[in-house]
Structure 1
Amino acid sequence: MAYISRGCTRGVLLHSDQGSYFTSKNYRKRLKRYHMKHSMSRKGNCWDNAPIEHFFRSLKTEWMPKNGWSTPREAKHAVNNYICKYYNHHGPHQHNQGMAPDQKEMNL
């Protein structure tokens, strides 16, 4: 989504954990093709992943229905709306001086 929405991802930082998907050769090749920088948490250091853990906690407590979604398609649509319409545009972030990610990016 970052690649498509920006048209050019040169210099975009993508942070992940050390899961096998993120450390695979195919994944790293794709990031290189899109000119994205890969940041990975250090083994056993939960603080590296604190921002993304906060994101998922917010998603689960603020957006996800108590009994989950009815279908995978409904889940995909809801999560996409959360990320693209709420989190990036309206969700204030402590590390962005209280601004949403899109606001912070515009002010760079």
Structure 2
Amino acid sequence: MTDSENIIDKRQHPRVAVETDYRLFLNGAQYVGKTSNISAYGAFLVVPEPGIPPSLVSQFGDLHVLIEGKWSHYRCEIVYVGKDSETALPGAGVQNIFAKRLES
């Protein structure tokens, strides 16, 4: 059994593979890229190098996601920095702390 088979999946909601544009504003920096998957309360953000440093886990930011041609705005928490388990792309897992979309 490999290490990846021993990893416990802590997700509470199923993920759906969705590639859409996002902008993340976090600690005065802006990160731009594509999502690789989205769930009811979170997403995995593919972040081009140099990426989001692991020191930003537990930090809160403003996430803008392009959904059906419109930017939706969310407040999120960085919960994971590393590679997506399915695509092996570098990025960050975020948890949406407001289930409801923030109106702009």
Work out which structure has the larger RCO, using CA pairs closer than 8 Å and 6 or more positions apart in sequence.
Answer: 2
Whose helix proportion is higher, 1 or 2?
Answer: 1
Q: What TM-score results when the alignment is normalised by the length of structure 2?
A: 0.30
Whose strand proportion is higher, 1 or 2?
Answer: 2
Q: What TM-score results when the alignment is normalised by the length of structure 1?
A: 0.30
